[in-house]
C-alpha cells in the first residue's frame, strides 16, 4: 500500500544517487517517492503522470537541464515545489533557478539532514536554502534592497524572524518559544510590516544581511 503524505519526484541522471535519495526520503513515513526520471523531458512527462507535490531536480539533466525543467514545471504545474539538488553552486545558476520558481536549493555535498530539512520545508510551502544559495541571495539583496535597521523590532519579533529564516514553521517556532501559533503569526506579520518585506524569501535575505542568521 502506498504511503500517504507528500509525493516526491526525483530527477537525476545518476542511478546510484537517485536510489540513495529514494531510500533516504522514504525512511520518513510522511514522504513517498512516486516517480523517478533520468532526463529532463522524462521528468516533465513523469510529473504530468504522477502529480508530485515536490520535484527534486538536478541541474545537470540530459535533454533538458534543471533550469528549463523548472521553468516548464512551474508553467504547466505551478503547485509543484521544486527543490534543486546539485553539485553546481555558481551564483548566477542559483539565482536563475530561484527566479525560475525553485524554492529549495541544496548541494549534493551538504549532509543528508539538509536535504531532508529542505523537503520538510517545501512540504509546508516554506523555502529552504543551503549556504551557497544564501550567499547568492545575500549578494542579490545587497544590490537590490537598502539596509534596514533592526532597532524597530522587539526582542521576540527578532527571535521569530530568525527562526523563520532558519526554515522553522509556525508550529515549531511556537513550541520553541513557548507561545501559541497565533502569537507567532502576529509577531511575524508585525516584523514584516516594520521591515517593509512582503515574502519569506525577502525575510531570509534580510536575516542573512543583518546577521540574524549565518549564510
pLDDT band at 215 (very low <50, low <70, confident <90, very high): very low
Report helix, strand or coil for 141.
Answer: helix
Give me the domain span that covers residue 190.
148-209
Q: Which residue has the higher pLDDT, 213 or 153?
A: 153
Residues 127 and 153 in one domain: no
Average pLDDT of the chain, as a whole number: 85
User: pLDDT tens across 149-200, in order?
Assistant: 555 778 888 888 888 877 788 899 999 998 999 999 999 888 888 888 888 7
Q: Assess whether 86 and 181 both reside in one domain.
A: no
* Residue 36 lies inside a defined structural domain of this protein: yes
Q: Does one domain contain both 93 and 169?
A: no
Report whether pLDDT(12) > 90: yes
Q: Is the pLDDT of residue 138 over 70?
A: no
DSSP state at residue 171? H
Pair (129, 185) in one structural domain: no
pTM for the structure as a whole: 0.65
The pLDDT value recorded for residue 139 is 66
| Cβ atoms within 10 Å of 132's Cβ, excluding its own | 21
Query: Looking at residue 103, which CATH number applies to its domain?
Result: 3.40.50.2300
Cα distances (angstroms) measured from residue 62 to each of 45, 80, 99: 14, 21, 21
177: CATH: 1.10.10.10
pLDDT of residue 70: 96
CA–CA gap between residue 25 and residue 116 (Å, rounded): 7
Average of pLDDT values for 24-34?
88
Q: How confident is the model at residue 147 (pLDDT cuts 50, 70, 90)?
A: very low
Q: How far apart are CA 90 and CA 133, in angstroms?
A: 9
Same domain assignment for residues 127 and 173: no
Grid cell locating 108: 549534493
- The pLDDT tens digits of the residues spanning 50-61 come to 999 999 999 999
Same domain membership, residue 77 and residue 171: no
Amino acid at each position: 500500500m502506498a504511503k500517504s503524505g507528500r509525493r516526491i519526484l526525483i530527477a537525476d541522471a545518476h542511478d546510484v544517487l537517485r536510489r540513495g535519495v529514494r531510500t533516504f526520503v522514504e525512511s520518513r513515513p510522511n514522504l513517498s517517492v512516486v516517480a523517478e526520471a533520468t532526463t529532463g523531458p522524462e521528468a516533465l512527462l513523469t510529473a504530468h503522470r504522477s502529480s508530485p507535490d515536490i520535484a527534486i531536480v538536478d541541474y545537470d539533466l540530459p535533454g533538458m537541464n534543471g533550469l528549463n525543467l523548472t521553468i516548464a514545471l512551474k508553467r504547466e504545474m505551478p503547485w509543484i515545489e521544486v527543490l534543486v539538488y546539485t553539485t553546481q553552486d555558481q551564483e548566477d545558476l542559483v539565482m536563475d533557478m530561484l527566479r525560475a520558481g525553485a524554492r529549495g536549493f541544496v548541494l549534493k555535498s551538504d549532509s543528508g539532514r539538509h536535504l531532508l530539512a529542505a523537503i520538510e520545508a517545501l512540504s509546508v510551502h516554506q523555502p529552504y536554502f543551503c549556504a551557497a544559495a544564501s550567499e547568492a541571495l545575500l549578494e542579490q539583496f545587497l544590490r537590490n534592497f537598502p539596509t534596514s535597521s533592526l532597532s524597530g523590532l522587539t526582542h521576540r519579533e527578532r527571535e521569530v524572524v530568525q527562526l523563520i529564516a532558519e526554515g522553522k514553521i509556525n508550529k515549531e517556532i511556537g513550541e520553541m518559544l513557548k507561545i501559541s501559533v497565533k502569537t507567532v503569526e502576529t509577531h511575524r506579520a508585525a516584523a514584516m510590516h516594520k521591515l517593509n518585506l512582503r515574502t519569506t524569501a525577502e525575510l531570509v535575505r534580510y536575516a542573512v544581511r543583518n546577521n540574524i542568521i549565518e549564510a
